[in-house]
Structure 1
Amino acid sequence: MLLLRKRVRSHLLFAAPSPSTSPVLSLHRLLSAAAPAVSPNPSFVVEEYLVGTCGLTRAKALKASTKLSHLKSPAKPDTVIAFLAGLGLSGDDVAAVVARDPLFLCAKVERTLSPVVAGLTGLGLSNAETARLVSLAPGSFRNRSVVSKIEYYLKLFGSIENLLRPLKYGSGFLDSDLQRVVKPKVSILAECGLGACDIAKLFILAPRILSASTKRVLGMVACAKRIGVPRGSGMFKQALHAVSYFSEDKIAAKLDYLKRTPRWSDTEVGIAVSKAPILLARSNDVLQRMSDFLFSEVGLDPAYIVHRPAVLTYSLDGRLRPCYYVVKFLKESGLLNHDRDYYSMVMVSEKVFLEKFICPHKQAAPHLAEDYAAACTGQVPSTFRFT
C-alpha cells in the first residue's frame, strides 16, 4: 500500500497528462500501474493521509477528517486521487477539491466519476474544462445526473465559459432539480419578456436566482414592478438583479434612505430607481459620500441627479472626483472657455476623457496627466487644491 500511495503521489505531482490525452484512459493507466486494493489497514489514519497524500494543511485535514471517519484504508481515496491526476489536476488543485468536498475521496470511480467524464467529453468539454468543473463543483460531480444538467446549462448559458463564471461563486444551482426548480423560473422570466440571452446574463450575474424558490422569483418580479420597473421594461433585467440581493424590508429601507440623503420626493425616488435599479445595491455610506460631493462640492441640484442616476453608480474616487478636478483646473487655468455638463463629462470612458481633456493640454499643462492619475488613486495633487 505504501508503494501504491507513492506511485499515485508521484503521478499526481510529476506526470499530469497532456491536454490531448483522454482522462479516462489516463486514469486506467495510473490504476494499472498501482498495486491491487488491500484489506482494511488498522494503522491507517485519515488525518495523516489528508496531510501526507492529499496535501491539506493540518487544520483543514482535521476538519475534513470528521467526514471520513468511516475510511479504514487508503485504497479508495488512492484511486480517486489517481482519477484526479488523470484529469490533469495539480497537487494544489487536488488539495482544494478535497478541502471543499472531503467525501469526493469516497466517490466510485468506475461507477460514477469515469462515466461523468465520458459524458462531459461527449458534450464537447475538453480535459481542462472538465478539470475546472471538478475544481469548482466537486460535490455535483459525484452525481451522474450532472451530465444532463451541464447539457441543459450549456444551452442556457451559451458556452462553458459562461457556465463556469457563476460556479466561481457557488455551485448550488447545479444541485437544483431542473424540472421542479430551474425550468419553471426560466419560464417565468420568459413570460416577463426576457429573451434567452437576457435570461442567461441575469443568471450569470445573479446565480442565486437559479436556486431560489419559484415563490421568491415571483416576489422579485412583483418587487421590480413596485419600484417602477415593470416586466417588459428595458431595465427589468437590472431590476431583478438588484432586488435579488435583498428582502423587501431592506429594499423599503433603501428607498426611504434615498428620500432622506439625496433629498428626493417619492416620485423622484421612483424615477431614479427605475432608471438605475442598481442604486438599491449601493451602501448607505457610499451614497452619503457621493451626495456630499455632488451637492456640496460640485454644486449639483438633487433634481439634476434624479434624471441622471447613473452618476451614483460610478466610482467616487476613481471617476467622479478626478474628472471634476481636471475640468475645474482647466477652467481656472483659462484652458476651457465654456462650461461642460458634469454628466456628459463623467459618463464617457476613461480613454475618451483623456482624449478630450488631458491630451490637448500636454504643452500648456504637462503635469496634468500625472496629477489626474494621482487623483484616481485617492491623492489630491497641490494643483487640484482649489481655494
Structure 2
Amino acid sequence: PQGDTNASLPSPLSNNSRQAAAVPHSLAAGRPAAMLRLRSSILAHLLLSPATSPPLSPLHRLLSAAAPAISTPTTGFAVEEYLVSTCGLTRAQALKASAKLSHLRSPAKPDAVLAFLAGIGLSAGDVAALVAKDPLFLCASVERTLAPVTAGLSGLGLSRSDISRLVSVTAGLFRHRSIVSNVQYCLPLLGSFENLLHAVRHGSSLVGSDLERVVKPNVALLQESGLGVCDIAKLCLNRPRLLSRNLERVQAALASAEALGVPRGSGMFRYAIEAVASFTEEKITARVDYLKKTFRWSDADVSIAVCKNPYLIVKSKESLQCRSEFLISEVGLEPAYLAQRPAMVCYSLEGRMRPRYHVVKFLKENGLLKRDPSYYTVFKESEKYFVDKFICPHKEAAPHLAEDYAAACGGEVPARFRFT
C-alpha cells in the first residue's frame, strides 16, 4: 500500500480504541474478542503480506495506536489471572509461569504477542501449550524479533501453517533470530520441512544450536566417516539429538560403532551409530556380554551378529530372553544359525514368529509338508508370501487353518495348534 499506513486502516480500529479507553478497567482488562480479532487480522497482514514493505514501521505504529485500549495501571496487572483468563493456562500452570513474568506491569507486550500468534494461525490450545512451556515468549518483541523471524522463514518458502507449527514445537528457540539461518541450513540437509519438524518435535535442538561450532562440524565428521546426505538425514530423524551434541560425543559414538566390528563406509555403519548413540562404552560392553550369555554365542558369533544387525544392542533384556527361549529352546535352532541370521532376533515374537511356527508345526504333524522349510524363510518373508505358501495350498486338507492362524496372530493358541 502507498501512503500513510494508519490512514489505510479500517476506521473501526480508532472507534474501538476510543470505546475501550472509555469502559471501566474490569472490561478493558478483558480485551473484547472483536478487538483482538481485528488486531490479529491486521498483524497477520502486516507480518505475512509480501506487498507490505517494510513491515516493521507500520507494525510499530499499530501497536502504539492500540496501546491505550489494552493498557492497565502499572500497579494493577495481575499476571496469574491474565495467564488463566487470556492465555488459557490452568491455575497450576499459571502459578508456575507467573514467577517468570513477575516483572510485567502491563499486558501491552503479552497482548501484542498473542495477537501475533493468532495472526499466524495458532489455536487457543496451541497458545496455551506454548506459554506454559515458555512463559517468557510473552515478553518477546513482535517488532524486533518475532516479525523479522517470521518474515525470514517466509522468505525460505515456509507457509503460514508451517511457521505456526514450527512455533509450537520450538517455543523459546523461535525468540532468537538465528533460527532462520539454522532452518535454512537444515532444510536441504534433512530433505523436507516435515523431516525438520519431526526432528525438532522429537528432541532435536538443531534449530537452536550454533551452526558454525556445533552442527556443521558434526555433519562434516559424519561425511568424513562415509555417510552421505541421505544417511545423515535418516540418522538425524532416528537420533535427533546427535547433530546438536558436542563434537567429542559424536566422535565417541563413531568409535563405539566401529568397535562393534562395523567398518566406516559400510552400509551398516549408520545403523551402528544409531544403536550406540545413546549408550556409554561400558553399557555397550554389558549389552554385548548379555547377548553372548543369552544366545550362547562365542565372541566370533556375537561379532558376526552385531555387525549384521547393530540394533541387537538396543533390544531390552526381557525381549532378548524371550526370543532366545523361543528360537533355541522351542523351535530348536542352533546358536550359530541365529548369529548368521540375527534379524530373526528382532522380529515380533507374538505377532509374527510364534503364529507362523504354529502353522508350520501343524502342517508337519499332519504330513502336509513334503520337506521341512527354513525357519529363516518362514519368519522373514512378507505376510502375503507366508499365506500363499503355507496356508492357501491346504484349504481342502485343513479348512480351518486360516482361521486358526488369524486367532494365533491375535494372541490365542487354537486347540488344533496344541500338541503333546
1:24 lines up with 2:54 in the alignment: no
Match for residue 266 of structure 1 among 295, 299, 308: 299
The answer to whether the 8 A contact 1:322-1:376 is kept is yes
2:227 aligned counterpart, secondary structure: coil
Match for residue 248 of structure 1 among 265, 270, 281: 281
- For residue 57 of structure 1, what is the aligned residue in structure 2? 90
Closer/same/farther in 2, CA of residues 10 and 257 from structure 1, 3 Å limit: farther
Matching residue's letter, 1:47: E
- For residue 205 of structure 1, what is the aligned residue in structure 2? 238
Cα distance between partner residues in 2 of 1:41 and 1:261: 69
The answer to whether the 8 A contact 1:290-1:312 is kept is yes
- For residue 99 of structure 1, what is the aligned residue in structure 2? 132
Following TM superposition, by how much is the alpha carbon of 1:3 offset from its aligned partner in structure 2, in angstroms?
4.2
Equivalenced residues, count? 384
1:340 lines up with 2:340 in the alignment: no
- For residue 48 of structure 1, what is the aligned residue in structure 2? 81
Following TM superposition, by how much is the alpha carbon of 1:377 offset from its aligned partner in structure 2, in angstroms?
3.3
- For residue 325 of structure 2, what is the aligned residue in structure 1? 292
Cα distance between partner residues in 2 of 1:76 and 1:147: 23
| Deviation readout 1:293-346 (Å, 9 max, x if unpaired) | 111111111111000001111111221212212222233344333211111111
1:233 lines up with 2:257 in the alignment: no
Cα distance between partner residues in 2 of 1:9 and 1:82: 12
1:153 lines up with 2:201 in the alignment: no
- For residue 384 of structure 1, what is the aligned residue in structure 2? 417
Cα distance between partner residues in 1 of 2:102 and 2:172: 18
Closer/same/farther in 2, CA of residues 369 and 83 from structure 1, 3 Å limit: farther
Following TM superposition, by how much is the alpha carbon of 1:356 offset from its aligned partner in structure 2, in angstroms?
2.9
Matching residue's letter, 2:280: S
Match for residue 193 of structure 1 among 216, 223, 226: 226
Q: Pairwise CA RMSD of aligned residues?
A: 2.7
Following TM superposition, by how much is the alpha carbon of 1:175 offset from its aligned partner in structure 2, in angstroms?
1.7
1:277 lines up with 2:310 in the alignment: yes
Following TM superposition, by how much is the alpha carbon of 1:243 offset from its aligned partner in structure 2, in angstroms?
0.5
Cα distance between partner residues in 2 of 1:158 and 1:304: 39
Matching residue's letter, 1:348: E
- For residue 70 of structure 1, what is the aligned residue in structure 2? 103
Structure 1 unpaired stretches of 5+: none
Cα distance between partner residues in 2 of 1:22 and 1:331: 74
The answer to whether the 8 A contact 1:166-1:207 is kept is yes
Identity %: 60
- For residue 9 of structure 2, what is the aligned residue in structure 1? none
Following TM superposition, by how much is the alpha carbon of 1:63 offset from its aligned partner in structure 2, in angstroms?
2.0
Which segment drifts farther, 92-101 or 249-258? 92-101
Closer/same/farther in 2, CA of residues 9 and 206 from structure 1, 3 Å limit: farther
The answer to whether the 8 A contact 1:268-1:306 is kept is yes
1:336 aligned counterpart, secondary structure: coil
Cα distance between partner residues in 1 of 2:350 and 2:406: 11
Q: TM-score, normalised by structure 1?
A: 0.91
- For residue 250 of structure 2, what is the aligned residue in structure 1? 217
Cα distance between partner residues in 1 of 2:204 and 2:383: 35
| Deviation readout 1:181-219 (Å, 9 max, x if unpaired) | 111111111111111111111111111211211111111
| Deviation readout 1:41-64 (Å, 9 max, x if unpaired) | 433222222221111222222222
The answer to whether the 8 A contact 1:8-1:30 is kept is no
Q: TM-score, normalised by structure 2?
A: 0.84
| Deviation readout 1:2-41 (Å, 9 max, x if unpaired) | 44754459857x9997xx9786359969969955352554
Cα distance between partner residues in 2 of 1:138 and 1:60: 16
Following TM superposition, by how much is the alpha carbon of 1:265 offset from its aligned partner in structure 2, in angstroms?
0.8
Matching residue's letter, 1:70: H
Following TM superposition, by how much is the alpha carbon of 1:226 offset from its aligned partner in structure 2, in angstroms?
1.1
Matching residue's letter, 2:257: A
1:371 lines up with 2:395 in the alignment: no
2:257 aligned counterpart, secondary structure: helix
Matching residue's letter, 1:237: R
Matching residue's letter, 1:345: V
1:67 aligned counterpart, secondary structure: helix
| Deviation readout 1:231-284 (Å, 9 max, x if unpaired) | 111100000000001111100000111111101011111110000001110011
1:311 lines up with 2:344 in the alignment: yes
Following TM superposition, by how much is the alpha carbon of 1:369 offset from its aligned partner in structure 2, in angstroms?
3.4
Cα distance between partner residues in 1 of 2:338 and 2:300: 13
Closer/same/farther in 2, CA of residues 76 and 15 from structure 1, 3 Å limit: closer
Closer/same/farther in 2, CA of residues 320 and 10 from structure 1, 3 Å limit: farther
Cα distance between partner residues in 2 of 1:274 and 1:326: 32
Cα distance between partner residues in 1 of 2:105 and 2:151: 30
- For residue 355 of structure 1, what is the aligned residue in structure 2? 388
Higher relative contact order (CA 8 A, sep 6+): 1
| Deviation readout 1:122-149 (Å, 9 max, x if unpaired) | 1011111111111110111110110010
Matching residue's letter, 1:188: L
Cα distance between partner residues in 2 of 1:74 and 1:240: 49
The answer to whether the 8 A contact 1:202-1:241 is kept is yes
Cα distance between partner residues in 2 of 1:362 and 1:55: 61
Which segment drifts farther, 184-193 or 313-322? 313-322
Structure 2 unpaired stretches of 5+: 1-24
Cα distance between partner residues in 2 of 1:34 and 1:221: 56
Closer/same/farther in 2, CA of residues 337 and 130 from structure 1, 3 Å limit: same
Matching residue's letter, 1:45: A
